[in-house]
Each structure stands twice: as C-alpha cells, then as structure tokens.
C-alpha cells in the first residue's frame, strides 16, 4: 500500500502537487484504507466505482481485494499517473480489471456522467471512495435516489456531512440530505478520521460512513417527487408544517378542528401535528405526509 512518502514521490516525479480546487486530500493511513475496504466486504469480481482515486492508494487495495474498479478522476494530470501505475501493476489484466474515466463524475440533473454509465454497462456496483468534500453530498444523493444498480456506498466524507447523513429527528443536523438518504437506505457511521490521516491535512475532521440502500422498503414510487417535497419543507424549516402546507391543500383542518393559527392543511397522518417543524419528523413521517399530500 502506498505510504505518504510514496505518494509525495509519485506526484513530485510528474511535477504535481495536491490541488485545493479539486478537494485533493489524499488518505494515506493504511489502517483506515483497509478499514474502508473491509467494511465494503468486496466479493472478487464485483464492480466498484471509485471517485477521486488520486494516486491510486485505495484503488490498489480494492484491486487486491478482487474488485473490478471503475475510477473517475477530474484532475487530468493525475489521470496519466494512475493509469500508468495500474497498467504497470495489472499487466495484461488491466483492461478487464481497471477502467479510468476522466472528468466530473456527475452530469447535469443529478445523474452519473454518461462515460461512467457506459463503463458500468448496466452492471450492479458499489461506491467505495475517499470522496472530495465538494462532491460528496450530491453524489451520495444521486446514487441513492436515482441509481438502483448501486447496491452500497462506503465512503469517507467531511464529518459535518456524516452528521447530516445520520441525523436523528429533532437534531440540529437534521435536513434534506439525511432524510432522503435515510428514507432509501440504512446509514451507519463507522469511525472518525483525524486530519492527520490525510495529506495535506484538511482543517476539519472526516468520517467513514456505510450506506446500504433498501429502496423497496421505502415505499416511495416517485423518488424525484419525494425529494422535491422534502427539500421544499426544509427550505422553510423555521416555519411549522401547518404554515408551510396551508396553501397547498385547501379545505378544513383535519376532522374539522381548529388549527390554532396554523392555517388549513392536509388530513394529518397519525403522529404528525401541524405545529411541528420539518426537522422534528422521521423519514417514515415524511413519507406518510408526502403520500397524504399526493392523495
């Protein structure tokens, strides 16, 4: 596995250095790299998507575990480095075991870049990656909501993002990202990573997260509509549900009762009150309220 000294040497040999604009903080702690790979429980021959492979530290560990790796790298200078290294490492097996896609991993409209979709060829895959901070939230949401062939995500992210992904109802971190991902998946924080595990060290802590989708259990047949609904409520998070929704569904309050200033609204599902605010609801409550609003 690549050491910090080797990462520095590989970059220096090509006149390269970490680029802040691409969020390049290379994970170099071998124990944490292995922990991420082990958490994914890779089966030899399965397809793994890696976003932001850098010099290939995690990539090599994934290949050692038997994965077929599709790597997406936005830094075209690094593309030449990692491609040369993987060809040297894999030899004649390189075309079957490793594919490099140069460019942004996301296209417009919350979709994977067409080149990645083409490389996947309709196969089931999982994401295992040390994610650049800027891309973490949109990529995770995109894969969980819109790519049923993604069967798991095992990633390092900024600790603040991990807090949002795992937020409980009523917590300060509760928001759109956490509700959406928790609706369609089981989310677990695996560990916290100190800044010193990366080079250059970021100014914040990171966290390792395991996300295992269970889309059938969500009971949501239109993820895009549901996502818009959740985002719409959180865009007015300081207001109560009754005030947010009073103009969406005309008619009397539930059961003909007064809403005490909350305005008219939907027939509230059991356990949900118009005086609550969006961050107080669980994912299951959001689904119930969304279904009611669609009826």
The least confident of 127-136, 162-171, 255-264 is 255-264
The domain boundary, picked from 218, 233, 267, lies at 218
- Model confidence at 247: pLDDT above 50: yes
Q: Residue 158's Cα: distance from chain center in Å?
A: 11
pLDDT at residue 267 in the model = 78
pLDDT band at 1 (very low <50, low <70, confident <90, very high): confident
Check which CATH number belongs to the domain holding 275 and give it.
1.10.8
Q: Give me 79's structure tokens.
A: 């593309």
- Model confidence at 285: pLDDT above 70: yes
- Model confidence at 144: pLDDT above 80: yes
- Percent above pLDDT 70 for the chain: 93
Residue span of the structural domain in which 271 resides: 223-294
pTM of the model as a whole = 0.92
The domain boundary, picked from 218, 249, 278, lies at 218
Domain identity same for 142 and 245: no
Please spell the DSSP secondary structure of 72-94, one letter per residue. EES-HHHHHHHHHHHHHHHGGGH
The least confident of 35-39, 251-255, 275-279 is 251-255
Domain identity same for 196 and 232: no
pLDDT at residue 251 in the model = 45
Nearest to 29 by CA among 191, 187, 161, 137: 191
Domain identity same for 19 and 114: yes
The least confident of 138-147, 243-252, 257-266 is 257-266
Q: What is the pLDDT of residues 72-126, one digit of tens each?
A: 999 999 999 999 999 999 999 999 999 999 999 999 877 899 999 999 999 999 9
pLDDT at residue 295 in the model = 78
Q: Report DSSP state, residue 256.
A: G
Say how many domains are in the chain. 2
pLDDT at residue 254 in the model = 39
- Percent above pLDDT 90 for the chain: 90
Neighbours of 225 (CB within 10 A): 13
Q: Is 99 helix (H, G, I), strand (E, B) or coil?
A: strand
pLDDT band at 263 (very low <50, low <70, confident <90, very high): very low
Residues 281-286: what's their mean pLDDT?
Answer: 97
Domain identity same for 48 and 72: yes
- Model confidence at 22: pLDDT above 90: yes
């Amino acid at each position: 596995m690549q050491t910090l000294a080797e990462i520095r040497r590989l970059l220096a040999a090509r006149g390269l250095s970490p680029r802040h604009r691409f969020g390049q903080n290379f994970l170099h702690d071998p124990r944490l790299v292995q922990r991420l790979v082990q958490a994914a429980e890779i089966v030899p021959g399965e397809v793994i998507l890696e976003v932001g492979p850098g010099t290939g530290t995690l990539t090599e560990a994934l290949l050692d575990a038997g994965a077929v790796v599709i790597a997406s790298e936005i830094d075209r200078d690094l593309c030449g480095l990692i491609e040369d290294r993987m060809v040297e490492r894999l030899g004649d097996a390189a075309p079957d075991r490793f594919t490099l896609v140069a460019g942004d991993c996301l296209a417009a409209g919350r979709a994977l870049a067409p080149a990645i979709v083409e490389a996947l060829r309709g196969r089931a895959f999982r994401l295992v990656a040390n994610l650049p901070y800027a891309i973490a939230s949109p990529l995770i949401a995109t894969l969980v909501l819109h790519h049923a062939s993604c069967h798991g995500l095992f990633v390092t992210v900024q600790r603040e993002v991990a807090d949002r992904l795992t937020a409980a109802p009523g917590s300060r971190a509760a928001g759109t990202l956490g509700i959406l991902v928790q609706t369609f998946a089981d989310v677990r924080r695996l560990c916290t990573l100190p800044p010193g595990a990366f080079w250059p060290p970021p100014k914040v802590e990171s966290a390792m997260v395991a996300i295992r989708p269970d889309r059938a259990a969500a009971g949501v047949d239109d993820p895009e509509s549901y996502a818009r609904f959740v985002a719409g409520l959180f865009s007015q998070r300081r207001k109560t549900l009754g005030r947010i929704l009073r103009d969406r569904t005309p008619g009397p309050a539930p059961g003909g009762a007064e809403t005490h200033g909350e305005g008219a609204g939907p027939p509230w599902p059991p356990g949900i009150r118009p005086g609550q605010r969006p961050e107080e609801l669980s994912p299951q409550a959001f689904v119930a309220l969304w279904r009611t609003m669609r009826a």
